[in-house]
Chain A
Amino acid sequence: MRIGVLGVGKTPHKIQHDKSLRDLIVEAGRGAMDDAGVGPDDIQALYLGNVAAGGFNYENSIGLMGAHHLGIVPAPAVRVEAACGTGAWALHLGCVAIASGLYDTVMVLGAEKMNDLATVEGTSVIAQAADSKEEYFSGLTFPSGVALTARKYMQTHEVTEEDLAHTSVKNHYYGARNPSAHLRFECTVEEVMNSATVADPLKLYEVCPMTDAGSALVLCREEILREQADKPQVFITATQMATGTWYAVSDATDALKATSGRAYEMAGLTAADIDVAEIYNSFAIQEPLGIEALGFAERGEGWKGAADGSTWLDGDVAVNPSGGLLCKGHPLGATGSTQAVDIVEQLRGTAPEGMQRQDAEIGISACRGGPGSVGAVHIYQRLEG
């Protein structure tokens, strides 16, 4: 499979009190269309990822609203929702739509406007993405559910809190260099350890902020991109999704593991071929779990790369050179699409200074949602004529 990436766009990732959800959608969507050199009339379908506008913004039918404000009516538009895997699911549907042959050019967009609510209200909205009866309305939140995962990981693999803190240090090193990131400061292991406890053993610097953002891609048939030889020839060569555990009682990586194996097979690649990876880490512990699920490290050893340098920019594989969700923030519906945009920038060689993996040709993005309910893996390759 080769799905052409004709254009990408993204808004800043930060608290944006001056912008509404529709502002974010329009800014990201127009950015991607401008980059692609197409107009609204060229978009044949819109897949718009948004997790919780009903809770954050008191509005629904977001796909239809987005189509209207982007001017792509009467092309079909639909909202995609799959917890934190939403943006990746929209991307999957966009790829499937092109691969099916039904459409030539589609837009994939993710957007979330989270900061119209106070944190305590926002936390309650986010918690609805897990089982409301059995887990999260029993006083568990997403941070505390993941805290249970972190403690289990520490127990099982004899890993300390200091060991895990290196992941935040690495992400913040690159986040400080990402002009689009929400949190732009470097930190030390000691500063991570001394930051406030959110849900023991998770600390503040191991938790993503609530962020307003949108991001978008214009996808096309391979031939359309090939005809524009002056454009970077970046293609999506694998898209795989899976459903995994609905409860926080496991380490919640079964969906991601299932997905990564199928994705490598689809692209005809292995983990060793990957230059650069964007791995979901709304909480720091999810990065080592993702690294293991993608086959970059053995079980229980995914945390080591941040400590020994092998997952830094010039390591075996650059993991989250964008600063990850820990620094970009986690604008729920936009997270998966922003990962895709960031990888495309890496393969185009246009990532910001200090974030660019040298000669990156093959990239991967791994997104997840719910306690472990969504696994999403996409592989991207630069394949010049």
Chain B
Amino acid sequence: MTVSAIEYTRLGPPKLRLYAMRCSSCGKLSPWWEKNHCYECGGGDLTHEELAGGGEITNYTVVYYPPRDFLGQEPYVVGHIQMDEDVLLPAPVVDVAPDDVEVGTRVTSTLRRMKLGHEGDIYYGHKFVVE
């Protein structure tokens, strides 16, 4: 999840910390912090909950042809991170050679610059590094 400096001003509790949203009906966590509806049970009351940051790579790919905003970073790893709190987050895995990533690798979250926007605005987001 990426957030520009402008969007930051309207963010609620998360303020760029690593949050997920818990459904008050079924207790299931949904990824990131902008959810209004629980895909598990259909509940409409979700509350912010901070994650500790630890998780495990359950799936990953190596991107060789990035979109414009990520030019120069290729090849880079994007993974599905199964967080310890039982929610799956798609996110970049950084500071590691693609060959050193595998399913089951333990990772922890880190706040990084994600990209530059079209007008030079900086976007921040959560990436993961190998523990």
Contacts and interface: CB of A to CB of B under 8 A. Distances in A.
Interface of A: 119-121, 123-124, 127, 133-141, 143-144, 147-148, 151-152, 155, 196-202, 245, 247-249
Q: Which 8 A-B pairs have the closest CB atoms?
A: A147-B61, A124-B67, A200-B62, A124-B68, A144-B63, A144-B61, A123-B67, A199-B61
B2 interface: yes
A148 B69 CA distance: 21
A175 B114 CA distance: 39
A139 B71 contact: no
Given A200-B98, A201-B61, 14 more contacts: A120-B65, A120-B71, A133-B1, A137-B69, A137-B123, A138-B1, A138-B78, A138-B92, A139-B63, A148-B80, A151-B59, A199-B64, A245-B39, A249-B31
B102 to A, nearest CB: 11
Contact of A137 (B60, B63, B114): B114
B62 A197 contact: yes
Contacts of A120: 65-68, 71
Contacts of B114: 137-139
Contact of B65 (A119, A137, A248): A119
A151 B78 CA distance: 13
A167 B90 CA distance: 27
B61 A121 contact: no
16 contacts: A120-B66, A123-B65, A127-B67, A134-B1, A134-B34, A135-B90, A137-B2, A138-B78, A139-B63, A141-B63, A141-B65, A148-B59, A151-B61, A155-B103, A201-B61, A249-B90
Interface residues of B, number: 33
A111 to B, nearest CB: 23
Contacts of B103: 155
Contacts of A141: 63, 65-67
Nearest to B3: A133
Contacts of B125: 138
Interface in B40-57: none
B65 A140 contact: no
A200 B93 CA distance: 14
Contacts of B91: 138
B32 interface: yes
B70 interface: yes
B106 interface: no
A323 to B, nearest CB: 22
A258 B8 CA distance: 38
A121 B2 contact: no
B2 to A, nearest CB: 5
A143 B87 CA distance: 23
Q: Which residue, of B32, B65, B92, B123, has the highest number of chain A Cβ atoms within 10 A?
A: B65
Contact of A138 (B60, B62, B65, B90): B90
Interface in B75-107: 76, 78, 80, 88, 90-92, 98, 103
Contacts of B34: 133-134
B17 interface: no
B73 interface: yes
B115 interface: yes
B38 to A, nearest CB: 13
B76 to A, nearest CB: 6
A200 B65 CA distance: 11
Contact of A199 (B63, B71, B123): B63
Nearest to A127: B67
A134 B32 contact: yes
Contact of B64 (A127, A196, A249): A196
B64 A198 contact: yes
Interface in B9-36: 31-32, 34
A196 to B, nearest CB: 7
Contacts of B32: 133-134
B60 A151 contact: yes
Contacts of A200: 61-62, 64, 98
B68 A121 contact: yes
